[in-house]
Every structure is written in C-alpha cells, then in structure tokens.
Amino acid sequence: MEAVLRRLSVVFLALLGLTTTAVAAGSSFECPAQPGDYLKLGPAEMAALLPVGDPLDDPAKLDAAIDTLRRQGLSSALIIDGLIGSYCPIVAADASLTVPQKTSRVQKFAMRITRLVYSFEGAEDIILDVPFDPPVVDAIRSRAAAAGVTPEKWIAEAVDTVLNSR
C-alpha cells in the first residue's frame, strides 16, 4: 500500500505542476516541460501511440501503448510521464477548450492512465471510480472523521461490512 501511495504522490505532484502552470499562465495553457531523453520513441511516435480523439474512449489502444512502452523497458512512472507528455500538447492545441477544461482533461487522463499502468503490475488493490453526489461525499467525510479514518478507508470498510453481512 505504501508503494501505491508513493506512486500516486508522484502523479499528484505532476498534476499540481500542470495546474500551477495553467493557472499562472492566465489565459494560456502550457504543458510542463518533459525531458524525453529516456524515451526511445520521438514525440510524433509517442503521439501515434495514443488513440485518435479522446484516448479514454479506446482502452484497447491505451493498453497497447502501455505494452509498447513496457517492452522498451520503461518503468511505470516513465510510461505515465511519456503518455501524459504526449497527450498534453494535443489538448493544448484544442482551441475550442478553455484553460480550465484543458487542465481538467489532462488531469482526468493522468489519473486514468496511472490506474491503467499500475493495473498491469498485478497490484494488490483495484481502484474503482465511483461518483457520489456532493451531499453523499459530505456525509462520507463526516462519518470517516468521526471514525478517525480517511474517507477512502471508511468506504472500503462500509463495503466490506455489507459484503460480509450477506
């Protein structure tokens, strides 16, 4: 679990940098500089690994991209960095999106690709994305605080309790 938290902290730091860059730029969106020395593929080849359109709509192509980079011997962190670095300029070039929309799209992609990359490692934990309405999130946070645990741990324990009571 500690390794998973370390991995996620790297991704969140990268996302924070992206958000800071976009906000600091005001009305412009800029992708963070990406040192590509570790990649054996050039920027055009990396971009070609991504599906046309919204990459999240084509999980098979994303899986193939991850597999291609893994065969090159890249670590999970470098695969994530490379794919985000390839996706960000595509979003930045979309003039129909606002800066917040661009930031949101890249963040969503980063979170999803991180889960995909680490799922290939046979992680012990599987992360499910479950949307909750704001009042439900408030109730979860309140109950988790009362129990002295994180909201994620509280949810996991609640689900475990329900599953074990049947």
What are 62-71's contacts with CB under 8 Å, separation 24+? 62/113, 62/116, 63/116, 66/113, 66/116, 66/117, 66/120, 67/120, 69/41, 70/120
Please give the pLDDT value at position 34: 64
- In this prediction, residues 53-69 reach a mean pLDDT of 84
Confidence of residue 24 (pLDDT cuts 50, 70, 90): very low
Taking only the tens place, the pLDDT of each residue in 8-19 is 444 444 444 544
Taking only the tens place, the pLDDT of each residue in 74-128 is 888 888 888 888 889 889 989 999 999 999 999 999 988 888 888 766 545 556 6
Please give the pLDDT value at position 105: 92
Please give the pLDDT value at position 61: 86
The sign of the torsion formed by the CA atoms of 125, 51, 93, 30 equals positive
Confidence of residue 69 (pLDDT cuts 50, 70, 90): confident
Please give the pLDDT value at position 9: 44
Least Cα distance to 63 among 52, 77, 75, 49 occurs for: 49
Higher per-residue confidence, 81 vs 1: 81
Please give the pLDDT value at position 35: 54
49 within 8 A of 134, measured Cβ to Cβ: no
Distance of alpha carbon 45 from alpha carbon 109, whole angstroms: 19
What pTM was computed for the model? 0.58
Please give the pLDDT value at position 126: 57
